[in-house]
Every structure is written in structure tokens, then in C-alpha cells.
Structure 1
Amino acid sequence: MLVFLHVTGQTTDQWLAELDKNIEQSGRYDATWQAEIDALKKNPLKNTPAEQFTTCLGLYEAYKIFNYDSAFDYAKQLQVAAARLNDPSKEVYARIKLGFTLISSGMFKETLDSLNSINIQGMPDSVKAEYYSLMGRYYYDLGDFDNDTYHTPLYIAKGNKYIDSALQLYPPASFSYSYYTGLKDIKSGNNDKALLEFQKTMSRQDLTHHQLAVAASTLSDIYIKTGQTDTAMILLIRSAIADIQSSTKENAAIFNLAQLLYKKGDVKRASSYIEKAIADAGFYGARQRKVQVSSILPLIEGEKISRVEGQKTILITYSTIATVLLLLVVVLAAIILRQVKKLQLAKQIITTAHHKEQEINYRLTEANKIKEEYIGYFFNTNSEFFAKIEKFKEALDQKVAYRKLDEVMALAKTINLKKEKEELLKNFDKVFLKLFPNFVDEFNAFFHEEDRIKLKGDELLNTDLRIFALIRMGIHDTEKIAQILEYSVNTINTYKTKIKNKSIIPNEEFEHRIMAIKTV
């Protein structure tokens, strides 16, 4: 008799921890089950057909939820032994066992061909009941597989008829009667009746591990449909634990649990459980389950990749980050210092030349705007870089701690300094154009129509504009501009000369006119 865990008093996380423990021990459960099978195999097949039938049936029952190939082989041997007995009921019984194996593997055509060849007239009630319930399961599974609005209702209706026939033959106190009654209610949309029936089934004290797994997994469907995800998850966990403890490889609970966890955003556990489902389906040889798993696996793996990509915001090493930050500090400090000096000069001009008061006030306001915008930009950039450093360190520490050296190398190879530099320049463009929104138009006014700069769709500024944008910000040192834009001094001088030569403004006045462009 099975003593199973109760829901009361345990959270979903506690149940998940219990499931993880059982997954770790699944190899031990499988080894124990295999040892029992090996013990059965040590008993040689006797010469009499009756003894052969009994031995093959025992091995079939051991394999039917454990391994399809072996279950199929012993189901075929069972048919041979039944034919030698010349007992029609045993021949039908053996063919039903073969049909169970075929439907468990998802071989719908082969299942129907096998079951349609059975004549159950005159068979014992127990054989008829098993046949009808298997036919009912066939049509239910076929409906679930098609999952459409036309064929599925027809298959469910056929399945219900077979289950009705089976229920007339099962003893009312049996697990099969209670289970198939509840299953029919679910398929018919009578969830309230099904819930009461399955709660009664789950309260039985004589359930085997496999019966508990089947009942809990089926009951979870009701809670999924009604949006009670936590209860559904606990039932699926109980079912998965029972499957593991009974070495049931033809299962659905852990796959359905992975789907719920994926929808709730627990991608790590969902991926782990899908891998377990894949391993079980592969071990058993369940074709239908492999198809189901293949439908959700790309989504889960895609989400994992997406999250990994999201964590790859740290794209440079500590030394490179430090260098870039230092460069930003130097550049921004130089800008601020230069603006402070301009403010001091402006104050002196105000006290000595009242007629220039308006111009000086404007420069003071402009300088304050520039200072405020770029101080904010400076601290925001620093904050982002420090956050990147922290995330990169955490990711790197974790991989080093687990000795995932290949992943460490892979993480380092994702560094893209060019992209970081482009992002830095793009941020500079945004802040600059916020201060000087008319800069591009006023700059182009210095040229004939054919020589004006035409930006591409995704460009805010290009190299020509950035050079003079930096000059407008007060950075006149060509070497400093070259450092910021990562060009040589000669290249910057060439750009400046080429632009000035195209302008309708005299070369010696060009930069003065640039400085005259106003902020808003």
C-alpha cells in the first residue's frame, strides 16, 4: 500500500525541492526496477504454454511503462504463448496488451489496426472492460493529438461511448471504475463532477505509485483549466514523484509541469524538467511524447538564450572598462573645467563692460545648461558602467566557481568594444542635440546646397558634425578631439580643412560662427 504526501502545509517551492531530490535519485529507482526485471528473466521460459504465458505476462507488465521495445517484444511472445494454449480469451487478452504498448508509444494507426482485429464476443467481462477502456483511451489521445474544433469533439464522443461500455463491466469499487468515470467527466466538460470523483479517488489508501501518478496528473487538468496553477503544479509534482519512484518512463506529468513553470517565468527549472522528459521519452521510445516535447523545447531554450543575451550587457573586461571610464572622466572634467573658467571670465566682463551684459548672461546660462546636461550624462554613464561591472563580475565568478572555463572564454569573446564606443558616441549625440537642436540646420547653412551634409536615417550626427560639435562644446584641442573620436590628429585636421574649404564662410571665421550657434 502506498503512503503518499499531502498537500497541506507544504508550499510549491517545497514540493519542487522534493521533486528535485527524487530526480537526483531516479537512477537508484531505475536500478532497483531493472534488478527486479533481471530477476524475472533469470527464470527460464518453461516448456508448457501456460508457464510461458505467465512468464511473458510478468515481463510485459514490468516493461509496459518502462521500455516500449521490450514491452512490445514480450507482448508478441505473449501472443505466441496464447496461440499455443488455443485459448481465445488469452489470445484476445494478449492482443489488448499489444494495443496498450502501441498507444503508449504514440503509434495511432498501428494501435487501431491491432484493436480492430479483436473480436471480444464471448470474452470474460474483465477482458471486455480492458478492451473498451483501451479503445476509449485511443480516441481520447487521438483527440488530444489533433486538438482541433472539428475532429477532436468527434473523437471524444467515440471515446465516451467506449468508456461507458467499460464502466458497465468494471466493479464500482475498483480504481479503474473511479478513474474512468472522472476521466469521462473531464472529457465531457463536467469539471465539477470530475473534481469530486478524483478527490474520492485520491483519498483511496490502496493506490499504487502508478495509480497515484495517473490520478494526480489527470486531476491537474481541471485546475489548469480553472486557472488554479499552484494547485495544478502540486498535483503534477506529486504525479512526477510517483512516476520516478515507480520507474515510469511513459509519463506526462513532468512535461506538463515544465510547461506551467515556463509560463510562470521559471525557465531554469522548466528547462531542467524538459530535459528529464526528453530522457524519459527517449528511454521508453514514446514517439508522441517526443513530438510534444519538441514543441515546447525551442521556446524554453529560446527564452534561456534571450536571458543569457540580456545578461551580456557587460561586454568589456575590467581593464577596458576602467580605461573608458577614465577617458570619460578626463574628457568631462576638462569640459567642466573649461566652462568654469568661462564663467569666471564672464563675471569679470560683467563687472567691467555693462554693454556686454546680455551676451555674458547668455553664455552663463548656456554654460550652466551644458554643465548640468553633461554632469548628469557623466554620472548616468558611470552608474551604468559600474552596474555592468558588477553583473559581469557575478557572471564570471559563478562560471569560475563551477569551473566552466569554456563559458568564461565564451563570455570574454562576446566583448564588443566597437559597439560600446558607438553607444558612447550616440549618447553624446543625444545630449548635444538636446542642447543644440538646430545645430545641424545652422551648420548646413554654411555651405552651398550640394555640399551640405545629409544624414542617414539612423544617424544623429556623423564624424564631420561631431568634430565641430565638440568644438562648440569648448573642446578646441585637436589632440583631445582625436582621442575622443579615436582618430589620429592628422585625420582630424584633414576633416576640418576639407570642411572649411567647402564652406561659404572664410576659413578663419568658420569656428567663430560655429561658436555662435546657440542653445535653446
Structure 2
Amino acid sequence: MKYKYICLLLLLTAGRTYARSGNDSLLDRLNWTIEKAAMYDAEKVQQINILRKTLQKDEHLSLQQRYTLCQQLYEQYKVFKYDSAFAYAQQLQALAREMNDPARINYAGIKLGFVLLSSGMFKETGDYLAAIDVAALPDSARAEYYTLKGRYYYDLSDYSSDQYFAPGYTRQGNSCMDSALILFKPHSFNYEYNYGLMYQKMGNMDSARYYYVRAVALKNLTTHQVAIATSSLGNIYIRTGKKDSAIIMMTKAAIADIASSTKETTAMFILAGLLFKEQDVKHASRYIEYAVADASFYGARLRKVQVSAILPIIESEKINTVEGQKKLLFAYAAIVTLLLLLLVWLAVIILRQYKKLQAAQKVITAAHTLQQEINDKLMEANTIKEEYIGYCFQVNSAYLDKIKKFKKLADQKLTDNKYGEVKYLVNNIDLKEEREELFRSFDRIFLKIFPNFVGVFNSFFREEDQIRLKDNELLNTDLRIFALIRIGISDNVKIAQILEYSVNTIYTYKTKIKNKAIIPKEEFEERLMDIKAM
């Protein structure tokens, strides 16, 4: 029972929920209730089983006790399952006859008429109602009889739905309702609800709404009564064109029907139709399927016909919607595929451009490296030129000073006719010493430019073949040959002239030294030129 109370509490607060969140919030609550439907039904079946076991196992029950249990089982089944409700109504009538109780016999006839009318069997309902002796009924049962008969005529009016028979059925229904209302306690649920129903059938929607609202507002309503009142109020809103209010009421009614395990209902069916008109095919499809399942479970023939009429329409629209979604999805897929192909094409172009850029970068890097090497060599060449120009000026200046002094001294001797002393001066010039001084000057300036030359040059040879310089010796002839090559004088004739050797001697020196090297001969001079200047 606790689940019914929870659902009823949710239902009574649903109006505030709608005002806050709209129809979707209330439909979400209905969907949640549908998920719990099996739980509510299981609770009802449990109650039924307890009553049935009591009725079947206790052989010492009196006819009165058996009648009461059958009546309770009928009340459990009357809006849950038609065939079971009909069977227990028949048992009620059989037990009443066995007790020879006219009031109970006629009361059982009312119960049989109710389930027959709920199943849509109008002729059979009319037969049972005609057989009832109203005078034998107490007031409470008589009010129920007139209410059932009024509903019977109203249903006939709705079913015939024509201008000839329908008004007459409605008038007869109103007459029955007048008789019932006199017997109901004022301001009770049956009083307020049936007044609303009568005014609705009379076409007075304002008065009908007034009484239905009063019925809904009553305290201590059962969940089933909430379902009846809200469903009827929803019908009023439908007729007055208030679609949103109609959806709210029908949703509340559907929630209450599920919570009370009511299978003989129209709320879910009507709600599905309303939502279908609002283009909410998803919810409409789910609710119409649920309504079909309820109608089939209960066994209401008329209800199954009504529900089945709209089911194909909704399902067809659902299929159309799905097909539309498929087409839309296909269009999206095509667009995405085209975009993907475009992306791949752009990626290929970008990759090609990137490779070209990399190749250009490599060319630029190589050119930059080459330019840097050229710049380094130019700087090196400039350094060498600057140093050697300075060296040449210094050497030439020194020689010019010597020549100037020699000329002055020779002029003085010749003026004094001292020819012998002039000869002595000429013979006193030491050319070997002058050449060695020239080499020492070259050695100093070269090592100033290439301070690591001797060490790097010796790394080209094994230790035992490396050049060992004497004390106070900067370079020797072997080193001078390759020092001249390093500063750009590679011609053997020029080297021979500078060092005052024959060309063959220079060639022999170079060949002998290269043969001792641990690096390939063809790389020797390239490695020599790689020796960096400071």
C-alpha cells in the first residue's frame, strides 16, 4: 500500500511541479510511474491471493462470510480484470439466492451490470438492470443503481453519437442521476462528481468544471477517486479548448490509474491522443501501447476497439517519424562524409605543403650553413690578410730602415773615397741570417693566427710519426710547407720560391709526410684546411 500513498502524494503535488517545469516534468513523473506499474500490480495480486486463499481453504465459513469475501474480491477485480470480476459477481448472486436475501440478490445484479457495462456489453447490461427490483434495495444500493443506470444511458448516448437517439439517452441518464443525487450525502465525492457528470452531459461545461474541481479538492480521496475526478475534469478542458490543462489532468489521472492498478480506464488512451495532436509522437506511442495492454488485460471489448482505432495512426506516424529521422541521419551522414573527405583532401594538401616546406627549410638550412661556412672562411681569410698585411708592412719597414741606414753609410764611405770599407759593408750582409729571421717572423705571425696548428696537424699521424720541434723552434720546414698551404698558397712552385727549395724537394716533402698520415691521402688537405684560425 505504501507505493500507492507515495504515488498519491506525488500526484497531489504535480500541479506545482507543472507550474515550475511544464508538461515535460509531469510526463517524466508518469513515465516513472509506468516503470513501477508491475510493483503496484504485484501488490494488488498479493491482496487478491490472500482473500482467495481465505475463501477457498476455510470450509467453515458462513454464507454471510463467503458473501463478504466475494464482495471484497469483486471490488478488487471490478476495474482490474473483467472475467474475474464477473465470476465473483455471479458468485455474489448465487450466495444471495442461497441466503434467500432479495436485497443482496439485486445488489449482486448491480455489480454484474457494472462489469458488463465496463466491458462494453450494452444489451446484457440493460437486461440485468431491468431485472433489478429497486424497491428491494437500501438507499445506498439504490443510489449506486441509479448512478450505474445513468452511466449506462450516457454511454449509449456516446456510443450512438447521433442527433436522433443520443439526446433521448442523455435525458434518461440525467433523470437517473437526479434520482441518485437525492440519495447521496451532500458534499461527498459521489455527490460532487455525479453533479459534475450530469452537467457535462447537459452541455453546461462551466458548472461541470465547478463540481469536478470541488470533487478533486476533497480530502481523503482514494487513488481511484482521484483518477476518476481528474480524468473527468480533463475532459472538460478538452471540450473548452484548454489543451495544456487537459494534458495535466489526464496525466494525473493516468498516474492515479497505474497506482491503483486500474485497467478499465480511458485516461491513458485520451492522453495519447492529446499528445499525438501536439506532435509528441514518442510519448503518444508509448502511452497508446500501454492503454492497449490495459484494455487487453481487463478484457474490455469496447475499449479495445476504441484504442485499436487510434493505435495504427500513431504507430504509422511513429514509423514516418523514424523514417524521417533516418533520412535526416542519412543526410547528416552524407554531409559528415563529405566533410571528412574534404578534411582528408585538406590534410593531404597540408602534408604536401609541409613536405615542401621541410624541403625548402632543409635547402635554406643548408644554404645558411654553407653561407656560415663561407662567412667563417671569409672572416678567417680577412684575419689572415690583416695579420699578414701587418706583418708585411712590419718586415718591409724593417728592411727599408736597414736599406736606408746601409745607403746612408755607403754614401758617406763613397764620399770619403773609402771604397774598401764599402766592400766590407757589402760582404758583411748575412743573407742566411736574414732569411732565418724572415722565417721566424712568418712562424710567429702564423701561430698567432693558428695557435692550435701544430697540435691538430700532429693528430693526423701516429705518435711515433708526429713532428717534434727543437727548443726555440716555432715551425720547421715540414710544418712551413703545410702552413703555406693552409693560408692559401698551394702551388708547389710558389712554395719552393718562398722557402728557397726546388720544386721536386717540396713535392718530396709533401709526399713523404702524407704517406705517414693515418687519414686518407685524398682527405689530407681538406682536413688541413679545416684547422680553424683563432
**Which TM bucket (shorter chain)?**
0.5 to 0.7
For residue 301 of structure 1, the aligned residue among 307, 315, 339 is 315
Measured against aligned partners, the alpha-carbon deviations of 1:166-203 in whole angstroms (never above 9, x if no partner) come to 11111113211111001001110111111111111111
1:47 offset after TM fit, Å?
Answer: 4.2
Structure 1 equivalent of residue 184 of structure 2:
170
Residue identity in the other structure for 1:43: T
> 2: CA distance between counterparts of 1:114 and 1:100?
10
Contact 2:227/2:252 (<8 A) preserved: yes
What SS does the corresponding residue of 1:89 show, helix, strand or coil? Answer: helix
In structure 2, C-alpha distance between the alignment counterparts of 1:60 and 1:192, rounded to whole Å: 36
Unaligned runs of 5+ in 2: 342-534
Are 2:47 and 1:33 equivalent residues in the alignment? no
- Tell whether the 8 Å contact from 2:14 to 2:252 is kept in structure 1 after alignment: no
Shift of 1:318: 7.0
1:152 and 2:163 are equivalent in the alignment: no
> Are residues 1:13 and 2:21 paired?
no
- SS of alignment partner, residue 187 of structure 1: helix
> Which of 122, 126, 132 pairs up with 1:108?
122
Per the TM alignment, residue 85 of structure 1 is displaced from its structure 2 partner at its CA by 1.1
- The 3 A distance-change label for structure 1 pair 307 and 86 is same
Q: CA deviation at 1:221?
A: 1.0
- Please name the residue that 1:66 is paired with: 80
Query: Could you tell me which of 148, 166, 177 is aligned with 1:134?
Result: 148
Whole-Å separation in 2 of the counterparts to 1:308 and 1:199: 40
Match of 2:285 in 1: 271
Q: Map of 1:81-480 to 2, 5 A cutoff?
A: 81-313=95-327
The aligned amino acid for 2:16 is T
1:5 Cα deviation after fit: 2.4
More helix as a share of residues? 2
The answer (yes or no) to whether the contact 2:27–2:251 under 8 Å persists in 1 is: yes
> Partners in 2 of 1:320 and 1:190 — Cα distance?
57
Give per-residue Cα distances to partners, 1:60-94, cap 9 Å, x unaligned: 11111110011011000000110011110010001
CA distance in 2 between partners of 1:112 and 1:5 (Å): 41
Summarize deviations over 1:311-343 as a string: whole Å, max 9, x none. Answer: 3436699799969x99xxxxxxxxxxxxxxxxx
Q: Measure how far apart 1:122 and its partner are.
A: 3.8
Deviation beyond 4 Å, 4+ runs, structure 1: 314-323
Whichever residue aligns with residue 139 of structure 2, its letter is D
- Equivalent position of 2:386 in the other structure: none
- Give, in whole Å, the separation in 2 of the partners of 1:193 and 1:222: 10
Q: In 2, Cα distance between the equivalents of 1:35 and 1:129?
A: 31
With over 3 angstroms needed to count, the CA separation of the structure-2 counterparts of 1:87 and 1:226, relative to structure 1, is same
Structure 1 residues 258, 319: CA separation in 2 closer, same or farther (over 3 Å shift)? closer
Q: 8 Å contact 2:93–2:108 — kept in the other structure?
A: yes
Runs of at least 5 residues in structure 1 that lack an aligned partner in the other structure: 327-520
Structure 1 range deviating more: 166-175 or 256-265: 166-175
Q: Distance in 2 between matches of 1:320 and 1:179?
A: 59
Q: What letter corresponds to residue 32 of structure 1 in structure 2? A: E
Amino acid at match of 1:20: N
Residues in 1 aligned to 2:232 and 2:331: alpha-carbon distance in whole angstroms: 51
116-125 vs 200-209, greater mean Cα deviation: 116-125
CA spacing shift, 1:266–1:318, aligned 2, 3 Å? closer
Distance in 1, matches of 2:261 and 2:47, equals 12
Give the structure 1 partner of residue 89 of structure 2. 75
Give the C-alpha shift of residue 206 in structure 1: 1.4
Cross-structure match for 2:358:
none
Cα gap change, 1:43/1:310 in structure 2, threshold over 3 Å: closer, same or farther? same
Bigger Rg, which one: 2
Taking a change above 3 Å as real, the CA distance of residues 309 and 52 of structure 1, as seen in their structure-2 partners, is same
Summarize deviations over 1:479-499 as a string: whole Å, max 9, x none.
xxxxxxxxxxxxxxxxxxxxx
Q: 1:214 Cα deviation (Å)? A: 0.2
User: Aligned to 2:163, what secondary structure does the other structure show?
Assistant: coil
CA contact (8 A) 2:106 2:136 kept: no
* Match of residue 44 from structure 1: 55
* TM-fit CA distance, 1:209: 0.3
Is the 8 Å Cα contact of residues 147 and 180 (structure 2) preserved in structure 1? yes
CA distance in 2 between partners of 1:58 and 1:256 (Å)? 30
Shift of 1:114: 1.1
Q: Which one-letter code corresponds to 1:270 in the other structure?
A: A
